[in-house]
Homo-oligomer: A and B are copies of this chain.
Amino acid sequence: MSNPVLVEVLRGDHVESAHRGAIAVCDASGKALLEIGDIARPVFPRSAVKAIQALPLVESGAADAFGFGNRELALACASHRGEAAHVELARSMLGSAGLDEDTLECGSHWPGNHEATIALARSGQSPTQLHNNCSGKHSGFLCTCRHIGLAHRGYVGFEHPYQATLREVMEDVTEAPHNVGNSATDGCSIPTYAIPIKNLALGFARMATGERLSATRAKAAKRLFSACMAEPFFVSGSDAADLPLMRAAPGRIFVKTGAEGVYCAAVPELGLGIALKCDDGASRAAEVMVAIVLARLLKSDEALAAKLDELARPAIPSRKGVAVGKIRPTEALSR
């Protein structure tokens, strides 16, 4: 079965490239509002589920013990762009627990934000593990291990007890099995598990509403989502697609990108979770898909829907900054 073409890339008036994908939107009971393509095929959510993976940080009491506010909780759910404020906050989170950069096991890479890379190079420095886009998530893992008295060394490994905890949480929230059979290794060295996007949408509906979660988990989910929506820069970065989407309607939209064309999102006021995957892994297409789905779901707020629709149709500039093309949802997706 072929998933439909959902996004087109135009140069001038001609379609230059096209992206296929699948999209699931449902409520906390699993009742579907929108289903496009194969929503049962397992996909790796990658970074899109960081908010679910951050639940133990709150539930364990670690976040309170270390005095974490919205920014720290947002960073624990983040794929940040390695900007100075992200790096310093990750360092500070680790410091709160008496840990430092060397305890991270995510590896290092130059910042995702180009200006941050140039500034780092100009200062004569090189990137550390704190610049890794996942350093906030890893810092959250380490702080929780510290708080509950779990030896953190090797915390990224499938066999480490903390990864077993994360599997239990993911299974509870998404109702999808997480085991060695559907696991692989993410870029930051932790396990990632291939599950259907319909389960991801279900999980995000539950995170947004608290329905069908324990009272403790529902409260933690609400706190994490509120933190991300209050501090979207710390979930993403200056040039990240998540930022304008969450800023378009402060406190009303939660979105989180994942590598290889995954997006998860939720609209708490509608009680809906959203998950999608671009077949070929392109972020540019996943960003258009999530924006147009949000525009459709929130169409009763015309000003907001117009803003989201605009985010779903980015221009492609030449090297001189002239628009020479655009990306847009296909009719199948936008009508």
A binding-site residues for B, Cβ under 8 Å: 2, 9, 11-14, 16-20, 42-44, 105-110, 114, 117-118, 121-122, 124, 132, 182-189, 192, 194, 260-261, 278-282, 285, 318-322, 324-325
Contact = CB atoms under 8 A, between A and B. Distances in A.
A14 B124 contact: no
Given A11-B192, A14-B184, 8 more contacts: A16-B44, A18-B279, A19-B280, A107-B319, A110-B118, A122-B122, A132-B319, A189-B319
Nearest to A277: B17
Contact of A282 (B44, B122, B187, B280): B280
Given A184-B325, A260-B16, A279-B17, A107 B320 contact: yes
Contact of A320 (B2, B114, B189, B261): B189
Given A117-B117, A282-B280, A194 B319 contact: no
B184 A324 contact: yes
Given A118-B121, A122-B122, A324-B186, A17 B261 contact: yes
Contacts of A118: 110, 117, 121
Q: Which of A12, A124, A260, A285 has the most CB of B within 10 A?
A: A12
A319 B108 contact: yes
A324 B187 contact: yes
Contacts of A261: 17
A-B interface, 8 closest residue pairs, ranked by CB to CB distance from nearest: A12-B184, A107-B319, A17-B281, A121-B121, A107-B320, A11-B184, A280-B280, A185-B324
A135 to B, nearest CB: 10
B185 A11 contact: yes
A9 B187 contact: no
B2 A14 contact: no
Contacts of A321: 107
Nearest to A19: B280
Given A2-B2, A280-B282, A318 B182 contact: no
A127 B279 CA distance: 35
Nearest to A10: B184
A200 to B, nearest CB: 15
A246 to B, nearest CB: 26
Q: Which of A124, A278, A320 has the most CB of B within 10 A?
A: A320
B16 A43 contact: yes
A189 B322 contact: yes
Given A19-B280, A319-B132, A44 B14 contact: yes
Given A17-B261, A122-B122, A282-B282, A188 B319 contact: yes
18 contacts: A11-B192, A14-B44, A14-B182, A16-B43, A16-B184, A17-B260, A17-B261, A107-B320, A110-B114, A117-B121, A121-B122, A122-B124, A132-B319, A185-B322, A186-B324, A187-B324, A189-B320, A280-B280
